[in-house]
Every structure is written in C-alpha cells, then in structure tokens.
Structure 1
Amino acid sequence: MPSAFLLLVHVYKYLGKDLFFMKIQLSDHFTLSKLLRFVFPSIIMMIFTSIYSVVDGLFVSNFVGKTAFASVNLIMPFIMILGAIGFMLGTGGNAIVSKTLGEGEPKLAQKYFSMIIYCTMIGGVIVSILGFIFMPTIAKLLGARGEMLAGSILYGRISMISLTCFMLQNVFQSLLVTAGKPKLGLLITVSAGLTNMTLDAVFVYGLKLGIAGAALATVASEFIGGLTPLLYFLHKNNSSLQLCRTRIQLGIMIKTCTNGSSEFMTNISMSLVNMLYNFQLMRIAGENGIAAYGVIMYVSFIFCAMFIGYSVGCAPLIGYNYGAENYTELKNLFRKSLKLVGCAGVCLAILANLLSAPLASLFVGYDDALFALTVHGFRIYSLAFLLNGFSIFGSAFFTALNNGLISACIAFLRTFAFQIVAVLVLPYLFGINGVWCSIVVAESLAICVTTTFFVRKRHVYHYV
C-alpha cells in the first residue's frame, strides 16, 4: 500500500498545482491532462473509502487475532450489501442530475438532488434498525459459530449505528463531482479516512477494545463522511446543487434505482460471491482460507477503487455531454477512458505481483502457513486487474448514458453469474487454486460481454 500511495504522489506531481486550483466546468473540452485532473479527487475518495475496512482488518488481525479477523470478514459482506443502497441512489441519481443540468434545467436538477438525499436518509434509518435486530440471525446464516459468531454480531450491530451516514457518504461521492466540488469530496473523505486510522490505533491498540474498537472507529469516520457534505448542501453554497424543498416523484425515484441498479447489483453480487468464496475456503482450508481471502479482498478494494473512482469522476462528464448532445466530446472521453483503463490495468497487475509478499506480511506475517497461502492466492488473483477495469468502466459508462439495463447486465454477469459458476465448479477441479483463479475466469468472460455492448450500441449513443 505505501508504494501505491507513492505512485499517487508522483501522479499529483505530474498533474501539478492545477489539481486544486483549476476551475471545473462540465462543458469544457477535456485533454488527457485535464481529464486526469478532474477525476483524480474521485479516485482518491474511493481509495480512502476502501481503506476504512482495510484498516479495521489490519488492526484486528495483528492485535486481536485471526479468529476475530475472520469474524469481521464474515459479516462485512452483509454490511456492504446494506451500504450498496447508497451507491445505487448516488450513481443512478447522478446520471439524472447531470443529464438534467446538461439540458439547462438547474432548478429541476436541485429538486431531483434533494429528493434523492431525503430518500436515502429515510431508507437508511429503516434499514439500520432492521439490520440491528436481525444481525444474530444473519451471522448464523453466514456460518458463524462460537467465538466467530459473537464477534460478527458485535461488529455488525455497532456498524448499524452509522449505516445511514455510510449510505449518504456513498451518495455524495458521486453528486459532489456533479456539483463541481470534487475537491471538497476529497477533503471530506481523506478526513474521514484519517479519523478511522487514528481511532483504530487508539481503540484497538491503545485501549484494547478489540472488535468493538475497530467498529467504533469506522462509525466515527462514517459520521464525518456522511454528515459533513449534508451540512454543506443544507446551507447556501457556491456549487451547482443545494438541498431545497421538494416532493417525492415516484417515476424519478424508479428511474434513479434503475440507473443505479448496476452499482447496486455490483455491490450485492460481490458481497454474495464473497460469502460463497468464504464457504468454499472454509471447506477446503478452514479459518486460514477465510483469513487469506480477507487480505486479498482488502488489497483488491484499494486497487479496484482506482477504476471505480475514475468511473465515478468521469460519469458526470459523460452524462452532461450526452444530455447536451455534444457527441464529439463524448467520443473524446470514451477513447481516452479506454486507454487510461488499459494502462492502469497493466500497472496494477504488475504492482500486485511485486507487493504480494510485503502486503501479506503486513496483515498476517505472524503466521507462516497463512502468509504463504495468502501470497500464493494473491499472485493468481492479481491477473484479474488486467481485465476488470474495462467492465467497471463499461457499467458506469452506460449508467451515465441513462441505460440502466445494459449497465446492470454487465454488472450482474461480471460480479455474480460468472463468478458463481466459476467458484462452484473450479475448486472441485483444481482445489484451492480453483478458488483463486475463479475471478480471472469471470473477468475474462465479463470483458467479452462489455465489448459486445460497446460495439452494438456505438451508433445509438454516438461515442465512436
């Protein structure tokens, strides 16, 4: 991870001081340098968001033990499923708001924006209460027993305290970019991430609060990540969006959910697939298998966050130019995006192989067998980084074009259908290696589907 941050520092130096001082206009023509400046805050936002759970796992594994680490890993997919509602409303709503702005309707865009935020708050409270009540049942269904069961319930119930803020944070990650405030989003996310890391050290290492300490650190960071932008938009500001009085428009909310269904599907599918991976690894390698997979997932979150962050940052540009019928700029963004995603994939795959041992040591260096298992699995898994950026971008691209159906299709096949088949079949043929290479097979199939949609829809949306 230190090397990844060093890479980002070099990128910052290349982009120069304009990263924080350039005036953002969705209607501008974007050169490669200008595009990188625009999306860079979104990439950092996604990286710091992914660091939340990574830091929890790092402290729990090293200072509480691998059983507690496995407990957190077991319940985390369920928490991410609930948080995925925020991703759905954020990305789906962002497509509508940015398109409406591109059509020259700023007041209507503000009403849509406000409705999405209010619905997220109401839904978040309801879901968090239900999650708290049924957490023991969920943990048992996921296979937790004994000490792992107690740890999973404890971490899960504390996490429900800030679930609404977590959902709001996911919504604002997209909409802050559309509001022309990606730097504010970056500042908030970095602040929340630093809070999480600091409090993990205090609660888990200093006060010896164990799993509860890790969960409380995450709760505090999510309050910062969710409430700070809410307060900003509640007051008069100089962005293109502000919270105002509105009413629920069922048609727009359905369109929002439809547009964002791919991101919702992606997060739910990933969580369900992670549960299946855990099941297969528990059967083949026991507790060590779940712990090893947890490490690989944590690092994968950070690497994939670069693709997701780029897609989130680029989506308002795509939606705006599609709404404005500026097809020349749409073609420009599409071509540059494919080149950037391809180059990033090669760099990340190489970096993952080089850092497999240092990163495994950082999490599980205290156990030789677990360390060896983690390094071996991560080196196979890292091949997926060559491919998955294209499908992540493809799904977000069609969401921005307001085609939620294609976006959801790509997301469903990539994160669920292909992986389910692979992780069910391959372990019976190749043992634990079949688990590690399941993601590579699934991503290979997904890129074929994404390419097919790119080719078939090129004349409909005029991006080629």
Structure 2
Amino acid sequence: MLRWPSFIALYRNDAMPHTNTHIRDLDTLPVSTLFWRYAIPSIAGMLVTGLYAVIDGIFVGHYVGSHGLAAINLAYPLVMLQVGLGAMISMGAATRIAIQQGAGDMRAARGTLLAALALLALLSALLPALGLPNIDLLLSWLKADVQPQVAEQARGYLLLMLSGAGLTMGPMLLTYLVRNDGRPKLSTALMTLGALLNIGLDYLFVGVMGKGLAGAAIGTLLAEAVVLILALAYFFSPRATLRIKLGQLRPDWLGLWPILALGAPSLLMELNLALLLFAHNRQLLVWGDDLSVAAYAVAGYSESLFTLVIHGLAVGMQPLLGHAIGAGQPDRARAALLHGLKVGLGIGVAAWMAVQRFPAWIAGWYSDGSAELIEAGSRALRLHLLAMPLDGLVIVGATALQAMALTRLALGVTVGKTALLLPALALLPMAMGLDGVWLAMPMVNLLLGVAVSLLLWKQIGQLQGVARAESS
C-alpha cells in the first residue's frame, strides 16, 4: 500500500511552469501542439471526475437491474444539488485564493482556505439535518416512490448520500485547492485514486455483498473519504504552500460572501442540469414507466462520457484562445478556435456513429441481461443522442465565446438550452408520445447548433479580417 508521505514525495517537484516560459510557449509554439498539451490533461481530469457516477451506473445496472437504474436516476437530482454546492465552494474559494496569492497576500489566502473548510463543515451538517427527517417527502417529490422496488432502492441510496453530504462536496473542494496550490499532478492522482477505489468498493458492496444502491453509495462515500483525508493531510504537511497549522486556525469570516458570490455560477449550472434531469424523469413517468427512466439512465450515462470528453476539450482550448485574444494575435485565435471545432465535431461524429451502430452493446454495459432493458435502452440511445455532433458543437462554442470575452452570448447559449428544452419536453410528447421525450434534446441541440454555428462563423470571419488588416 502506498503511504501518504511517499504519495506526496512522488509529486515533490510538481510545480506550475515558470510564468515567462508558460507565456512564451503560448506565443510561439504551434497551436496544434499547444492544443493537445492542454486538452489531453483536461480531458483526463474531466473523465476521472465523472467516473464516479458512471461506475455506479454500470454496477447498479449489472447487479440490481432496471429498478436500480430507475431509482438512482430519480434520486440523483438531490445528489446534483450537493455537487452544485460543492462546486460553488470550490470555484469560489479557488478563484479568491488565486487572486490573493497573485497579490502576494498568503495570510489572506490561508484565511480563505480555512473559511471554505468551515463552510464545508456547516453544509455537511445542514444538509442531512434538513434532508433526513424529510426523506419520504423528498422521495415523493422526486417520484421515486412509483414502485415498491424502486422506492426501496432510492430510499437506501438517498439516506446514505444525504448523511455523507460532506464526503460528496469535500473532495471536490480539496482537489481544487491542491491544484491551486501548485500541485496539479497530485490533484489528478488523488482523483484517479478515488475513481479506482470506487470501482473496487462498488464491486465488493454491490456485486459480491449484494447491497444494491445502498452498496453503491457506501462505495462512493468511502472512496471520497479517502481522497478527502489525503488531500486534507497535504495541507497540514510541509509540502503545502498554504500550510495549515493547528495554532493558526483563523478563518476569514468576511471572505464567506465573496466565496459564495464567485462560486454562484457553478451552483446555478449544476442546478440547471438537475432541473433538466428532473423534468426528463417526470415526463418519462407520464408517458412511459420506470423502465423508461432506466433506459434514460442508460442514455444519460453514455451521454455523460461524451460530454466529459467534449468539456475537457473545450476547457483545454480556452487558455489558448483567451491568451491569443488578449495578446492581440487574431491569426492564432482563429487557428485555436478552428482546431477546437474540428476536433470536437470529429469526436461527436465518431461517438454518434458508435451509438447508432452498436446501441445494444452499449446498453449491455448497464444491464443485468434483461432483454427489455437492452431494447428500451437501445431506443433511448438512438433517439436521445441523435444530435451528438451538434451537442459537442454547442459545448465547444459556448466555451469559445466565453474565452473571447463574449460573456452575454455564452450565457445566452447556456440559458437558451434550458429555455428551449423545457417547452419541448412538455409539447413534443403530446404529438409523439414517449418518442417525443427522447427527441426533445436532439431538436434543441439542432436549433442551438445552427445558432452557435452562425455566431462562430461571424467571429472567425472577424478574426480573419483583423489578421489580414494587420499583415497588410
């Protein structure tokens, strides 16, 4: 077993590159080289972060079946609330600490770190205190009580996930802060360790011991507890720049509001996703049944793998594009944008072809062998993911607009997806039944894809025009 001091020692030289070298590379190296240098670690980090939910889905599908998949999908909006709160603290604290460190105020940065930990402790106590006494009301609100088997699995899962709310939020916060402390490799290693532990523990509790969704929750929480302990130990070690000492536990209480304000967009983004999941679940129960919800889980887990890759790609493109815009390099900005769009569309087309060609095989990842689940999951995959290339285009496009400081347009794309999807979910099933629920997302992605394409075409043309004017 790898001991904590050895684990830290592996990354003792894991420091951020010198600023001048970093900027020189952004100015001089080929855009294609820089693109993959940034995109590959970003994609890997996104995949590791998202593996927890996908791993749970695979084990639940194999060992519990369609009732388990339906239960976890119906209960998951509440887990997404916890994730959103964790993302709010993480992004808010990381942003504030980065600003304070940049200004050379290490004392203030340490105070913000301690304030974030105090806020984490408060929410870790508040969420179970509010949720556990009202578990039956929450299950009813989520429609997770539609069938006794579904209700039993969802109840066991939510009881544990609410009880361990701090273990859902804490690792996200600490790994963000470890990365901000100049240890990106250590942060990635901790997340990878958590994902690997989750696989082993899920197999033990769900596959071997047969504890169902409760077993999946236990495996997830134990894996996250290990990551939380190791990351927290790092900040008490001499390796940490923002080292925490027991005699200097002075949180910056006035920094709580800036943390919340800076992190609010991350919370809103996660709440938006939770709302869309909740809306889909509701309509699937109206026009279908719990098997339809299980089929949606199959499509949703598969979609999440694709979107994690595309998000990683977009996040990797962002610093290249943003730096080129800020440095007044329109030709390099145009090259970075075109490269990101081409790669994103290529991945989208490849993923779409795989889904359309092998839906039963993909659905089999999440199935206990049930022919009904594989058939329903295959139809959900083919219809719900019909516009995958355009979905990828929208994600990359929104990130590109944000990187070019076109914040209102980027926000309009994000908000527009929800604004269009909710009416589509309400209206399409009236004409098409259950298939209308599956086709709501592709139709919205088609409309947004066209709009984003026109916006980006305009930006590419403007960048090309500026580059020509500068060269003449």
Specify whether residues 312 and 227 from structure 1 end up closer, same or farther in structure 2 by C-alpha distance, changes over 3 A only.
farther
Give the letter aligned to residue 259 of structure 2: M
Greater Cα offset, 384-393 or 328-337: 328-337
Correspondence for 2:117: 118
Specify whether residues 224 and 399 from structure 1 end up closer, same or farther in structure 2 by C-alpha distance, changes over 3 A only.
farther
Give the letter aligned to residue 446 of structure 1: L
Specify whether residues 174 and 442 from structure 1 end up closer, same or farther in structure 2 by C-alpha distance, changes over 3 A only.
farther
User: What's the CA shift string for 1:125-182, capped at 9, x where partnerless?
Assistant: 1334323333321111111223322321210121124322322333456555555533
8 Å contact 2:128–2:163 — kept in the other structure? yes
Give the letter aligned to residue 256 of structure 1: L
Specify whether residues 406 and 353 from structure 1 end up closer, same or farther in structure 2 by C-alpha distance, changes over 3 A only.
same
Specify whether residues 167 and 22 from structure 1 end up closer, same or farther in structure 2 by C-alpha distance, changes over 3 A only.
closer
Displacement of 1:203 after TM fit?
0.9
Equivalences for 1:211-290 in 2 at 5 Å? 211-237=213-239, 247=252, 248-249=254-255, 252-253=258-259, 255-258=261-264, 261=265, 263-290=266-293
Displacement of 1:270 after TM fit?
1.9
Specify whether residues 222 and 69 from structure 1 end up closer, same or farther in structure 2 by C-alpha distance, changes over 3 A only.
same
8 Å contact 2:401–2:407 — kept in the other structure? yes
8 Å contact 1:342–1:390 — kept in the other structure? yes
Greater C-alpha Rg: 2
Correspondence for 1:12: none
Equivalences for 1:354-393 in 2 at 5 Å? 354-364=357-367, 366-393=369-396
Specify whether residues 143 and 254 from structure 1 end up closer, same or farther in structure 2 by C-alpha distance, changes over 3 A only.
closer
For the pair 1:155 / 2:157, whether they are aligned, the reply is yes
C-alpha separation between the residues in 2 aligned to 1:429 and 1:68? 30
C-alpha separation between the residues in 2 aligned to 1:453 and 1:313? 21
C-alpha separation between the residues in 1 aligned to 2:270 and 2:90? 13
C-alpha separation between the residues in 2 aligned to 1:310 and 1:116? 32
C-alpha separation between the residues in 2 aligned to 1:445 and 1:36? 30
Correspondence for 1:292: 295
Specify whether residues 197 and 433 from structure 1 end up closer, same or farther in structure 2 by C-alpha distance, changes over 3 A only.
same
C-alpha separation between the residues in 2 aligned to 1:205 and 1:435? 32
Correspondence for 2:440: 438
Correspondence for 1:301: 304
Displacement of 1:346 after TM fit?
2.1
8 Å contact 1:349–1:383 — kept in the other structure? yes
8 Å contact 2:197–2:223 — kept in the other structure? yes
Structure 2 unaligned segments of length 5 or more: list them. 1-12, 468-472
The CA RMSD over aligned residues, in Å, is: 3.7
Displacement of 1:120 after TM fit?
5.0
Equivalences for 1:100-119 in 2 at 5 Å? 104-107=102-105, 110=109, 114=113, 117-118=116-117
TM-score (norm 1): 0.80
C-alpha separation between the residues in 2 aligned to 1:397 and 1:234? 38
For the pair 1:204 / 2:206, whether they are aligned, the reply is yes
Specify whether residues 123 and 129 from structure 1 end up closer, same or farther in structure 2 by C-alpha distance, changes over 3 A only.
same
Displacement of 1:343 after TM fit?
2.5
For residue 379 of structure 1, give the secondary structure of its aligned residue in structure 2.
helix
Equivalences for 1:119-198 in 2 at 5 Å? 121-125=120-124, 126-145=126-145, 146-171=148-173, 178-198=180-200
* Identity of matched residues, %: 22
Correspondence for 2:36: 36
Give the letter aligned to residue 340 of structure 1: V
8 Å contact 2:112–2:251 — kept in the other structure? no
8 Å contact 2:14–2:186 — kept in the other structure? no
C-alpha separation between the residues in 2 aligned to 1:422 and 1:172? 39
C-alpha separation between the residues in 2 aligned to 1:215 and 1:65? 16
For residue 366 of structure 2, give the secondary structure of its aligned residue in structure 1.
helix
Displacement of 1:448 after TM fit?
4.8
User: What's the CA shift string for 1:279-312, capped at 9, x where partnerless?
Assistant: 2222222121011111111111111111223344
Greater Cα offset, 202-211 or 324-333: 324-333
TM-score (norm 2): 0.79
8 Å contact 1:98–1:178 — kept in the other structure? yes
Greater Cα offset, 158-167 or 369-378: 158-167
8 Å contact 1:311–1:392 — kept in the other structure? yes
Greater Cα offset, 90-99 or 303-312: 90-99
C-alpha separation between the residues in 2 aligned to 1:188 and 1:178? 14
Displacement of 1:202 after TM fit?
0.9
C-alpha separation between the residues in 2 aligned to 1:400 and 1:235? 36
For residue 249 of structure 1, give the secondary structure of its aligned residue in structure 2.
helix
Give the letter aligned to residue 222 of structure 1: E
